[in-house]
């Protein structure tokens, strides 16, 4: 056991603001100082009073030390952060201050990354001292924070038009007050949390803006500070707002005095924690509360996604049969006993809940990528097509592709479908995304890295240029990375290019949207097979820090019956790829397609276009339960493709090595009692169909090759990669997976959603010591109850139907004959949206930061100055003068059960 150091114990006791606590060697007040503070430093500090300035001459007299010795000690104490200094006296003479721990020396200790590496206990010291003194006092803190810690200051533009605001509520006031005296320094919270593996993956540098004499202090004492101009300050503030960070000012020096403006991420910030963990918003909230104009809100969810306090969730706009829903509010401590049972220790996860239990718009809920459908319909209705495209690309970088091939779960769920027909959501999306097909109108999202002015230089490799891989690349690029995509085929696109026929998805549509991704800085290297041309280990040696494997299910499956190896038998994947590369591929004679999904229909329609004599489909399912969409089935039948339900393959008939027909057996059931796929047949009820070609669409397989050689990645069901369901991280920590290679064959939109989540995980992984899960948006949405709605007024127009290009033979051509909606059709169709969802603010949780207002593109959420007392700034020394009257008032309310309305 280390020797107890009496001077350090005394110093810890002197500085602590834990009322009535006797400091011991087991307390952070002791071990936080002991590693970096010498006894000589402690001796000097003990001659000072907390937050009472002393000049050099005063300290010289108080300590009795020689000038050189004292100056050296003061310099060292200032550098580690035990002391701060300023020139706030009539003579402008330098004076030293022994600060409190928080805000103060605990933070200063954490601003030097090298020191943190050498003394990681300093990170825990900061965490403890920003919490322990507050555990009992927070419920008694009045609005304004009573001179404790930090104070939220709203986004400037959110209150520009607020005529009741006061100067100190405006960042511009503070920048003017400290004109020309600014320094950017690292965020101590971000650095601290990183030290013990809870980092948020932001670049810690420059987020803390020191003002006045503090600017000199952070520059001169090796705290990573650098002087910056007014324009640089504005740029940092703007970058913070773009990332959804909260502006906070120091709140311990009374009226009209601060020493820093911070830009805080709730996932790491200790100041924001005080209100979020203890559910006591008086600690830090501004004078403002956000409120939603329901009539303008379209439930896009941007405010919800960025609200640092979890004060906004998605709800519904439509009335139920019982009236409007009343949403619950967070209980406050103003008239209730408060203790750990009222706290939310996991607030960083709880404040990322997207909607209330009663649900929100079904379209957003049903979409795997949770696109803001209601939002982009509204933008399209307003004729703001570029804005609509930008809103879609928040969740989906392939709107033009999905406008043609999505399986439209949003439409299946659409509330309008309970009245007549669902809104033609995908057709509107297709119209909006036409902009992407032309270089002069396409939308290229801005790059918004969580840094104050640099891109990330960590190298990331994405293996597979299908929808999952390219989506991952897109969202990594948006975060400030330059990922490299490796694709073994000659062209990118994966199954979009090689698995979907051109009469559904033209290749130029794929090329156009991939070009956007290239313009964002993504490099795509085609003709490179990982595991064959280069290995994962070789890429690691080249400096790649993470890998996203999204190679899809590029192989087909056979049913394992006699004759399936004959000439004339192919899997669906093989045929579609072959024809995708050469649309003049000849098919002569009759074709039988086995399968009942959309891919089987693609194969049948492709065969027809390649010259087949007749095309018949046979599937296990009944007509009502076929997995293919009704629209696909209808188009197949219009092309004279015969669909036969309730049959499975028994044997392929072969003569001289070539297909002559197929024997099919009657399917009597498809699933067992547990709902698992386990078809049963009547082996005596068979039919024989003569044909020259049999194409099996009965499943797909993953072709790993040597990709995973020497890898720890585990394979599970269907030979798919095993990974964490939230992070997609495999047993090989730097390898993440997504899309069909993880889930098995699904739709493009599922792969796109997985790609975005992969990007989130990889960003967090490659930034050292960041958590893959803390504060992560789980993307969980609940559909409102469509059976309990009172819809009184709505546009009664019928669903619009896109036209067909008469110059294209829709039954025989490989060109897409489907036209895009006209602008008039878009206006008519978007008017049919019922506008189900809306955001709801819980003002008891709102901290008045205004971040939500910067994300809303519909002018639907604003700040209102409803808590003016929250702008009362008190000196730390006077905190009990503010707390005691409020605590007394609160105690009376608790005792006599009075509740504020």
Q: How far apart are CA 59 and CA 282, in angstroms?
A: 38
Once rounded to an integer, what is the mean pLDDT over residues 179-202?
97
Q: What is the pLDDT of residues 866-888, one digit of tens each?
A: 999 999 999 999 999 999 999 99
pLDDT one-digit tens code per residue, 68-107: 999 999 999 999 999 999 999 999 999 999 999 999 999 9
Q: What is the pLDDT of residues 275-304, one digit of tens each?
A: 999 999 998 999 999 999 999 999 999 999
What pLDDT is stored for residue 160 in this prediction?
Answer: 85
Q: How far, in Å, CA of 371 to CA of 363, rounded?
A: 8
708 within 8 A of 662, measured Cβ to Cβ: no
Distance CA 772, CA 768 (A): 11
Structure tokens at 519: 């313009």
Residue 335 has a pLDDT of 86
Residue 47 above 70 pLDDT? yes
Cα(16)–Cα(568) distance, integer angstroms: 83
Q: Give helix 385-392 / helix 373-381 axis angle, nearest 10°.
A: 170
Query: Please, what is the angle between helix 373-381 and helix 425-433, to 10°?
Result: 60
CA dist., res. 285 & res. 846, Å (int): 8
d(CA 867, CA 733): 48
The model's pLDDT over 593-643, given as tens digits with 9 standing for 90+, comes to 999 999 999 999 999 999 999 999 999 999 999 999 999 999 999 999 999
Confidence of residue 26 (pLDDT cuts 50, 70, 90): very high
The residue with greater pLDDT, 423 or 3, is 423
Q: Record the tokens describing residue 80, joined without a space.
A: 């580690």
Kind and range of the H or E run holding 695 = strand 693-696
Question: Torsion-angle region of residue 494: left (phi > 0), alpha (psi -120 to 50) or beta?
Answer: left
pLDDT (average), residues 439-451: 96
* pLDDT 10s digits, 790-829: 998 899 999 999 999 999 999 999 999 999 999 999 999 9
Strand partners, 387: none
Per-residue model confidence (pLDDT) at position 614: 95
Given a cut of 60, whether residue 900 has pLDDT beyond it is no
**Tell me, what's the pLDDT at 2?**
61
pLDDT at 164: 87
Percentage of the chain modeled with pLDDT above 90: 97
Residue 793 pLDDT: 87
Is the per-residue pLDDT at 1 higher than 70? no
List beta partners, residue 427.
none
Exposure of 152 by Cβ count < 10 A (0-12 exposed, 13-18 middle, 19+ buried)? Answer: buried
Q: What is the pLDDT of residue 898?
A: 54
Looking at every residue in the chain, the average pLDDT score rounds to 96
Using DSSP bridges, classify how beta strands 544-549 and 591-594 pair: parallel, antiparallel or unpaired: unpaired
Per residue in 694-720, pLDDT tens?
A: 999 999 999 999 999 999 999 999 999
pLDDT above 50 (res 578): yes
Which pLDDT value is given to residue 901? 41
pLDDT at 692: 98
520 pLDDT more than 90:
yes
- Find tokens 């990645």 and name the residue: 713
**Residue percentage of the chain with pLDDT more than 70:** 99
What mean pLDDT do residues 890-897 have? 89
pTM for this predicted structure: 0.95
Given a contact cutoff of 8 angstroms between Cβ atoms, the answer to whether 863 and 848 are in contact is yes
pLDDT at 679 exceeding the cut of 50: yes
Kindly state the average pLDDT of the residues 586-590: 97
In 658-810, which residue ranges form alpha helices assigned H by DSSP?
Answer: 740-743, 748-766
- Residues whose CB falls within 8 Å of the CB of residue 744, separated by 6 or more in sequence, listed in order: 553, 700, 717, 718, 720
pLDDT tens digits, residue range 161-171?
A: 877 899 999 99
What 3-state class would DSSP assign to 220? helix
Instruction: Count how many residues are written for the chain.
Output: 901
Cis peptide before 103 (omega within 30 of 0): yes
- What is the spatial distance between Cα 713 and Cα 283, in angstroms, rounded to a whole number? 47
Tokens 């006591």 identify what position? 280
What is the Cα–Cα distance from 159 to 842, expressed in whole angstroms? 20
Q: Is 291 helix (H, G, I), strand (E, B) or coil?
A: strand
Q: What is the DSSP string of 539-589?
A: HHHTTEEEEEE-----EE-----BTTTSBTEEEHHHHHHHHHH-TT----S
**In what helix (H) or strand (E) does residue 496 lie, and over which residues does it extend?**
helix 495-498
Please tell me the distance from the alpha carbon of residue 559 to that of residue 699, in angstroms, as a whole number. 9
């Amino acid at each position: 056991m280390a020797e107890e150091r009496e001077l350090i114990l005394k110093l810890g006791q002197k500085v602590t603001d834990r009322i009535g606590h006797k400091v011991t060697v087991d307390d952070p007040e002791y071990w936080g100082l002991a590693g970096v503070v010498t006894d000589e430093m402690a001796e000097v500090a003990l001659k000072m009073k907390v937050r009472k300035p002393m000049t050099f001459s005063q300290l010289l007299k108080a300590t009795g030390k020689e000038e050189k010795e004292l100056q050296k000690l003061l310099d060292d104490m200032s550098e580690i952060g035990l002391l701060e200094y300023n020139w706030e006296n009539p003579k402008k003479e330098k004076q030293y201050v022994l600060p409190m721990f928080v805000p103060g020396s605990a933070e200063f200790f954490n601003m030097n990354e090298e020191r943190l590496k050498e003394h990681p206990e300093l990170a825990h010291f900061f965490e403890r001292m920003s919490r322990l003194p507050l555990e009992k006092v927070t419920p008694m803190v009045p609005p304004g924070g009573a001179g404790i810690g930090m104070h939220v200051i709203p986004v400037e533009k959110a209150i520009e038009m607020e005529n009741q605001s006061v100067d100190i509520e405006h960042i511009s006031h503070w920048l003017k007050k400290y004109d020309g005296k600014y320094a950017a320094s690292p965020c101590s919270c971000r650095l601290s949390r990183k030290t013990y593996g809870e980092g948020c993956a932001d670049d810690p540098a420059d987020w803390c803006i020191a003002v006045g004499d503090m600017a000199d202090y952070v520059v001169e004492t090796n705290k990573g500070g650098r002087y910056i101009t007014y324009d640089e300050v504005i740029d940092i503030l703007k970058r913070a707002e773009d990332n959804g960070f909260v502006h906070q000012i120091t709140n311990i020096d009374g009226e009209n005095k601060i020493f820093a403006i911070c830009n805080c991420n709730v996932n790491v910030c200790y100041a924001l924690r005080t209100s979020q963990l203890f559910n006591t918003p008086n600690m830090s909230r501004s004078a403002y509360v956000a409120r939603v104009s329901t009539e303008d809100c379209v439930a896009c969810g941007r405010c919800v996604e960025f609200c640092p306090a979890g004060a906004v969730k998605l709800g519904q706009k439509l009335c139920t049969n019982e009236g409007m829903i009343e949403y619950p509010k967070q209980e406050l401590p103003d008239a209730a006993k408060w203790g750990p049972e009222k706290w939310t220790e996991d607030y960083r996860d709880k404040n990322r809940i997207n909607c209330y239990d009663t649900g929100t718009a079904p379209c957003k809920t049903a979409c795997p990528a949770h696109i803001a459908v209601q939002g982009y319909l509204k933008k399209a209705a307003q004729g703001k097509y570029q804005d609509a495209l930008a809103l879609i690309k928040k969740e989906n970088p392939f709107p033009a592709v999905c406008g043609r091939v999505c399986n439209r779960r949003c439409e299946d769920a659409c509330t309008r479908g309970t009245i007549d027909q669902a809104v033609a959501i995908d057709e509107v999306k297709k119209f909006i995304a036409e902009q992407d097909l032309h270089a002069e109108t396409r939308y290229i999202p801005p790059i918004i890295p969580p840094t104050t002015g640099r891109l990330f230089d960590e190298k990331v490799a994405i293996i597979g240029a299908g929808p999952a891989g390219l989506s991952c690349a897109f969202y990594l690029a948006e975060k400030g990375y330059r990922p490299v995509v490796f694709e073994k085929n000659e062209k990118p696109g994966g199954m979009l290019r090689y698995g979907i026929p051109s009469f559904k998805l033209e290749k130029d549509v794929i090329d156009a949207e991939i070009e956007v991704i290239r313009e964002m800085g993504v490099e795509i290297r085609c003709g490179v097979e990982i595991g064959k041309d280069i290995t994962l280990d070789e890429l690691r040696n080249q400096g790649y820090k993470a890998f996203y494997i999204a190679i899809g299910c590029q192989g087909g499956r056979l049913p394992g019956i006699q004759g399936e190896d004959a000439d004339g038998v192919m899997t669906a994947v093989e045929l579609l790829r072959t024809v995708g590369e050469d649309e003049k591929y000849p098919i002569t004679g009759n074709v039988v397609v086995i399968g009942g999904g959309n891919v089987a229909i693609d194969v049948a329609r492709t065969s027809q276009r390649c010259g087949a004599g007749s095309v018949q489909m046979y599937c296990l399912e009944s007509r009502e339960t076929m997995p293919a969409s009704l629209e696909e089935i209808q188009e197949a039948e219009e092309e004279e493709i015969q669909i036969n339900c309730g049959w499975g393959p028994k044997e392929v008939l072969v003569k001289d090595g070539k297909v002559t027909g197929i024997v099919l057996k009657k399917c009597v059931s498809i699933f067992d009692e547990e709902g698992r796929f386990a078809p049963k047949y009547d082996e005596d009820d068979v039919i024989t169909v003569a044909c020259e070609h049999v194409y099996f669409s009965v499943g797909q397989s993953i072709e790993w090759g040597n990709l995973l050689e020497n890898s720890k990645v585990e394979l599970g069901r269907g030979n798919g990669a095993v990974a964490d369901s939230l992070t997609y991280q495999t047993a090989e920590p730097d390898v993440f997976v997504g899309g069909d290679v993880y889930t098995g064959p699904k739709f493009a939109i599922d792969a796109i959603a997985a790609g975005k989540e992969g990007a989130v995980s990889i960003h967090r992984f490659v930034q050292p010591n960041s958590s893959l899960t803390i504060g992560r948006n789980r993307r969980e949405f609940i559909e409102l109850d469509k059976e309990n709605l009172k819809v009184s007024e709505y546009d009664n127009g019928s669903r619009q139907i896109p036209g067909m290009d008469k110059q294209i033979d829709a039954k025989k051509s490989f060109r897409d004959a489907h036209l895009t909606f006209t602008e008039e059709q878009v206006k008519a169709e978007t008017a049919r949206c019922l506008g189900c969802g809306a955001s709801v603010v819980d003002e008891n949780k709102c901290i008045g930061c205004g971040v939500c207002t910067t994300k809303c593109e519909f002018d639907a959420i604003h700040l209102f100055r409803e808590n003016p007392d929250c702008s009362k700034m008190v000196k730390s020394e006077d905190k009990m003068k503010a707390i005691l009257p409020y605590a007394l008032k609160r105690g009376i309310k608790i005792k006599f059960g009075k509740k504020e309305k």
